[in-house]
A and B are shown apart, each in its own frame.
Chain A
Amino acid sequence: AQSVAQPEDQVNVAEGNPLTVKCTYSVSGNPYLFWYVQYPNRGLQFLLKYITGDNLVKGSYGFEAEFNKSQTSFHLKKPSALVSDSALYFCAVRDIGGSQGNLIFGKGTKLSVKP
């Protein structure tokens, strides 16, 4: 069965510093991987995805993620954090166990960026 793990409940970063939010996955076959961000009382906003191709994926708002097949990881990164990046971040993998494209989410990581 497919699964996603986000080992950190919370990540604290000072504004201007680089940030990393970790994600590891377990799938049978090739993964479709996604990152979403959620602000309080809002829906999920798509940041980026990996399907095939370059291991370094660039997404919205200056975020990027690196797909590492040997480490089964898909960590989210940003070179310089902003206070406005503070939110809840979810890593997700597409469930390829069946024929439907529903997403399986990690538990989420709360990112807090302090001025």
Chain B
Amino acid sequence: DTEVTQTPKHLVMGMTNKKSLKCEQHMGHRAMYWYKQKAKKPPELMFVYSYEKLSINESVPSRFSPECPNSSLLNLHLHALQPEDSALYLCASSPDSTGVGYTFGSGTRLTVV
């Protein structure tokens, strides 16, 4: 298995909803990442988990809450989002923290209404 799987592929949520994005990989990678990408813009780093510990939080608002239950799973919990949070959310993994061998998921297209 050489893929990063993200679910759901599309999500529409209201500003008062609570939802979660899920990311899974079975490549034995020990670093996992969440990126946010607005249309026609480069991905922007949100969080980095290394060996299941949060190592980077790029000043992301608390309405985004990451969780790494085990080495294969990465979740992003969403609560009280704003319409400007609508974007493509990409998960990625790499074997270790060197950044070599990144694999991206296909993303979750999030729309906040």
List residues of A whose CB falls within 8 A of some B CB: 32, 34, 36, 41-46, 49, 51, 88, 90, 94-95, 98-103, 105-108, 110
Contacts and interface: CB of A to CB of B under 8 A. Distances in A.
A103 B99 contact: yes
B4 to A, nearest CB: 8
Contacts, number: 70
A100 B109 contact: no
Interface of B: 4, 6, 31, 33, 40-43, 45, 48, 50, 55-56, 88, 90, 92, 94, 96-100, 102-107, 109
Q: Chain B interface secondary structure, helix, strand, loop or mixed?
A: strand
B42 A98 contact: no
Given A42-B107, A43-B90, A45-B104, A101 B40 contact: no
Contacts of A102: 33, 45, 48, 56, 99
